[in-house]
Amino acid sequence: MPEAIDVRLDSLTGAGTLRGLRLPPTPLDASQSKACPPGDRTFYIETFGCQMNVHDSEKVAGVLLRRGYRQVQRPDSAAVVFYNTCSIREKAAQKVFSRLGAFRAGQDAGKLVGVLGCVAQQEGEQIFERAPWVRLVCGSASYRKLPELLAQLEAGQRRVTGLETDTEETFETELTRRENPYRAYLTIIEGCDKACAYCVVPFTRGPERSRSSASILQEVRQLADVGYTEVQLLGQTVNSYRDPSPRRMSFAELLVATSDVQGIRRVRFTTSHPRDFHHEIVEAIDAVPALCDHVHLPVQSGSTRVLGAMQRGYTREEYLEKVAMIRAARRPISLTTDIIVGFPGETQEDFEQTLSLLEVAQYDGAFSFKYSLRPNTPAQAMADPIPEEEKGRRLAVLQERQRQIQTARNEALVGETLEVLVDGESRRLDQWTGRTSSNRVVNFTSPQGTLLGDYAQVRVTRAGPNSLVGEQVI
């Protein structure tokens, strides 16, 4: 695998750092004309989906930068337009085709339009039929082949595809253009072997493939060398990591080794699967302050019967054992989750069991969604679909109850002083925002100068369901 190179962007100038060397500022204005002159090498990427998709777009941007392209902020200013897509839910996939529908053959002649990611893998060459102006369809498993695919397009080939998933590669690229100047994403495992009945990921991203621990730690050291203090380890099932090297480092051991890298102050990881969540992970968080006190552990349903239909591989009781393990830690660990309502055959009693699970687990946050049927999944063949109106009702009830729980848990933090990594500032004077180790958003005041990228001690003065308010302790 080629040595990975990271580009870090300055949040104010749009300039980047390439292994210690300054790059010319990336033009981020939208003043360019709509027409793309011959030889124009500008690009635009819009990303849909999770952190893994965001990081994938960083990799794709790095590939384009290496080929001499430069990034712009609007699709009408770009010669190359890529949509990096998510197909987990139908609504996300629909957004992509809505974007593609904005292009017109005459008005946008000369643009190179490409569809990347999960929708590309799911729909394949059918995208060309639905949107004939698309010239590139490329799944995430082929991002390392992008230079070769782009070369074919630049040479005049009308359409190219990269849709292979039968690969042992972990999709790292030679150069990554990192958008966030403070937190760096780092893929450690790709794909999924869990085969949940509702999920398209095994089809769109392939089987689980882990990077070697040595290559991961080398990249972490490179990130620390250019000034990153927080890294977030990524995977569809990140805690299913299996070190393919002779070292055979466990996931918990990898967490500890990452936190030991000089300059790294915080280590996060997402998303965990309950089947592979073991006490060693909690013990590592307890023992190592640099490991963030936050676990995202999707449950999807509080009903054992529905969990069985979903093919999740655990029961309600087994999941709650994992929750009890987390709550028993010596340091408080924030717990968040994902929940699907309206899975085929879900009864009112099943739904009530999900509501009761909220009470027991006391989540600090939850991403909740109505079930949507996805192609190439076992749930396609399931009978007894729940009406959309009923799914909407259940979702509203669940979200309101979770909002009450989050508000109460956040209000319990009023008066405490928390460490915040500052990653944003308000237009209002002396107003800043950032995240705690537990991944809570904190908006606070400070009379000091610029705090971006700093760690601030903030006393919490107020709380709402989604964020905290405070003031810096000087």
Measured distance CA(68)–CA(71) in Å, rounded = 10
Q: Higher-confidence residue: 16 or 63?
A: 63
- 261 contacts 229 by C-beta, under 8 angstroms: no
Q: Which residues of 192-212 are buried (b: 16+ CB within 10 A; e: fewer)?
A: bebebbbbbbbbbbbebbbbb
Contacts of 101 (CB under 8 A, 6+ apart): 131
Sign of CA dihedral 72, 77, 78, 84: positive
| Residue at 22: amino acid letter | R
pLDDT at 26: 35
Q: Higher-confidence residue: 268 or 36?
A: 268
Q: Higher-confidence residue: 59 or 8?
A: 59
Look at residue 391 and tell me whether its pLDDT is greater than 50.
yes
Q: How many residues does the chain have?
A: 474
Tell me the mean pLDDT in the region 310-330. Answer: 98
Tell me the mean pLDDT in the region 252-259. Answer: 98
Tell me the mean pLDDT in the region 440-455. Answer: 94
pLDDT at 3: 36
Q: How many angstroms separate the first and last alpha carbons of the chain?
A: 47
Measured distance CA(189)–CA(208) in Å, rounded = 7
Q: Mean pLDDT of all residues in the chain?
A: 87
| Percent of the chain's residues with pLDDT above 90 | 64
Q: Higher-confidence residue: 96 or 44?
A: 44
Look at residue 297 and tell me whether its pLDDT is greater than 70.
yes
pLDDT at 395: 98
Which tens digit of pLDDT belongs to each residue from 365-374? 999 999 999 8
Measured distance CA(110)–CA(431) in Å, rounded = 44
Q: Name the E strands within 188-280.
A: 189-190, 209-210, 230-234, 266-270
Which tens digit of pLDDT belongs to each residue from 269-284? 999 999 999 999 999 9
Lowest mean pLDDT among 64-73, 158-167, 304-313: 158-167
Measured distance CA(372)–CA(379) in Å, rounded = 10
**What are the φ and ψ backbone dihedral angles of 239, each rounded to 5 degrees?**
-80, 0
Lowest mean pLDDT among 32-36, 45-49, 62-66, 221-225: 32-36
Tell me the mean pLDDT in the region 74-83. Answer: 92
The SS3 of residue 348 is helix
Lowest mean pLDDT among 86-90, 122-126, 132-136, 309-313: 86-90
> How confident is residue 76, by pLDDT bands cut at 50, 70 and 90?
confident
Q: Higher-confidence residue: 15 or 216?
A: 216
3-state helix, strand, coil in the chain (%, to 5): 35, 25, 40
Tell me the mean pLDDT in the region 61-66. Answer: 89
This prediction's pTM: 0.84
Here the tokens at position 298 are: 């999707």
- Which of 71-80, 135-144, 205-214, 297-306 is the most confident on average? 297-306
| Residue at 378: amino acid letter | P
- 193 contacts 273 by C-beta, under 8 angstroms: no
Q: Higher-confidence residue: 7 or 130?
A: 130
pLDDT at 106: 45
Pairing of strands 468-472, 441-445: parallel
> How confident is residue 84, by pLDDT bands cut at 50, 70 and 90?
very high
Look at residue 304 and tell me whether its pLDDT is greater than 80.
yes
Tell me the mean pLDDT in the region 457-465. Answer: 98
Lowest mean pLDDT among 3-7, 398-402, 429-433: 3-7
- 237 contacts 260 by C-beta, under 8 angstroms: no
- 442 contacts 415 by C-beta, under 8 angstroms: no
Quick one: which H or E segment has residue 399?
Answer: helix 388-411
Measured distance CA(460)–CA(315) in Å, rounded = 37
Which tens digit of pLDDT belongs to each residue from 107-159? 566 789 999 988 888 888 989 988 888 999 998 878 878 889 989 998 889 99
Which tens digit of pLDDT belongs to each residue from 167-198? 665 556 666 778 788 999 999 999 899 999 99
Instruction: Please confirm whether the linkage preceding 258 is cis (ω < 30° from 0).
Output: no
pLDDT at 146: 86
